[in-house]
């Protein structure tokens, strides 16, 4: 019987969606996926906040290096891959700016990447 994999995406903060090295920058990239349209719905923003916090804890509390010792000493980027960029002047955009600033203050890069279907 095949083991069921947990759902990936912003709606599941207990899962790190993807971890991959970036050969161009040397960074370890932790990717979170958001395939839904942007919304300033409080419940959706809470999911985004929880997912970002889970990624930061994974990196800052040493779980990344504990699980992947080969990444020790490498710079880290948390990247939100989404089908569209968040609307300017939205709560989501404000949250992402705050996350970027906090991550940067802890030597972690934070990026948003628009992906095509």
Q: Which two tokens stand for residue 101?
A: 């600033």
Identify the pLDDT of residue 4: 67
11 assigned to some structural domain = no
C-alpha radius of gyration, the chain, whole number = 14
How does 95-116 read in b/e, with b if 16+ C-beta sit within 10 Å? bbeebbeebeeeebebeeeeee
Q: What is the reported pTM? A: 0.90
CA dihedral sign of residues 101, 103, 107, 112: negative
Distance CA 94, CA 27 (A): 25
Which domain range does residue 38 map to? 18-114
The count of domains in the chain is 1
42 assigned to some structural domain = yes
10 assigned to some structural domain = no
Identify the pLDDT of residue 117: 57
Per-residue pLDDT of the chain (117 residues; tens, 9 = 90+): 556 677 889 999 999 999 999 999 999 999 999 988 888 889 989 999 999 999 999 999 999 999 999 999 999 999 999 988 888 888 999 999 999 999 999 999 999 999 875
39 assigned to some structural domain = yes
29 assigned to some structural domain = yes
């Amino acid at each position: 019987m095949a083991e069921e994999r947990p759902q990936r995406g912003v709606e599941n903060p207990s899962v790190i969606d993807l971890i991959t090295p970036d050969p161009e920058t040397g960074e370890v990239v932790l990717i979170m996926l958001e395939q839904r349209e942007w919304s300033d719905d409080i419940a959706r923003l809470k999911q985004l906040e929880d997912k970002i916090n889970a990624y930061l804890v994974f990196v800052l509390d040493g779980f990344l290096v504990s699980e992947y010792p080969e990444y020790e000493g490498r710079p880290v980027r948390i990247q939100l891959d989404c089908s569209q960029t968040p609307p300017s002047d939205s709560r989501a955009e404000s949250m992402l700016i705050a996350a970027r600033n906090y991550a940067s203050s802890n030597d972690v890069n934070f990026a948003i990447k628009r992906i095509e279907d």
